[in-house]
Amino acid sequence: MYSKKPRHDSLSNNSMNVYNQFQEVYQLDTVRHQSGNSPEQRLFKDILMQLYDGVSTIDDWKILAICFNNSSTTENNQFMNAIHITSQKIDVHEINIGKLKSLNALVARVYAVHTGDNEASKADFDTAKGLEA
C-alpha cells in the first residue's frame, strides 16, 4: 500500500489507487455523543474514555453488564445500530453477518492480498497519513 511501484495484479493497483484518493485523516478523541453531568453519565463517559485509551477494567465491564441486563427490551432496541464491543471474534462475526443479512441486499466478499514486503510496518506516522500501528 505504501509502495509507489505498480504491482502485477490489477486488484493491488486498484486498491492502491483507492487508498491514494484519501486526502485527510481524522482522529476522534472526545466523546461527543454522551452528554450530561449526573453521576451515572459521568461514570459512563469515564468508561468510554477508558475503552478508548485501552485501559478498561473488569469493574467497567460489570457496570455496563448491569446497565444492559436491567434495561427493557425497548431500551435495548435503541442500540441495535450501535457499535458493539465484544470479547470474542466469533461474536463479532455473528454481529457482522446479522447486520449484513438485515440489509436484504447482495454483498460482495473482497479478499485482501498482500503483495508487498514489510514496507508498511516500517512506515512512520506521516507516511501513513496519520495511521498508527
Q: What is the pTM of this model?
A: 0.36
Q: Which residues of the chain have pLDDT under 70?
A: 1-13, 28, 30-34, 70, 76, 87, 113-117, 120-121, 125, 128-133
Question: Is residue 131 one of the residues assigned to a domain?
Answer: no
Cα torsion angle, 43, 45, 50, 54, sign: positive
Question: What pLDDT score was predicted for residue 1?
Answer: 47
- What whole-number distance in Å separates Cα of residue 57 and Cα of residue 46? 11
Q: Which of 28, 5, 26 is nearest to 16 (CA)?
A: 5
What cell was used for 85?
464491543
Question: What pLDDT score was predicted for residue 116?
Answer: 64
DSSP state of 48: H
Question: Is residue 3 one of the residues assigned to a domain?
Answer: no
Question: What pLDDT score was predicted for residue 59?
Answer: 92
Q: What is the CA radius of gyration of the chain?
A: 20
Q: What domain range is 30 assigned to?
A: 10-122
Question: Is residue 110 one of the residues assigned to a domain?
Answer: yes
**C-alpha to C-alpha distances, 122 to 12, 13, 26, 132, nearest whole angstrom:** 19, 21, 21, 11
Domain count along the chain: 1
Question: What pLDDT score was predicted for residue 95?
Answer: 85
Question: Is residue 49 one of the residues assigned to a domain?
Answer: yes
Question: What pLDDT score was predicted for residue 92?
Answer: 82
Are 7 and 115 spatial neighbours (Cβ–Cβ below 8 Å)?
A: yes
What cell was used for 98?
446479522
- What whole-number distance in Å separates Cα of residue 77 and Cα of residue 75? 5
Question: Is residue 48 one of the residues assigned to a domain?
Answer: yes
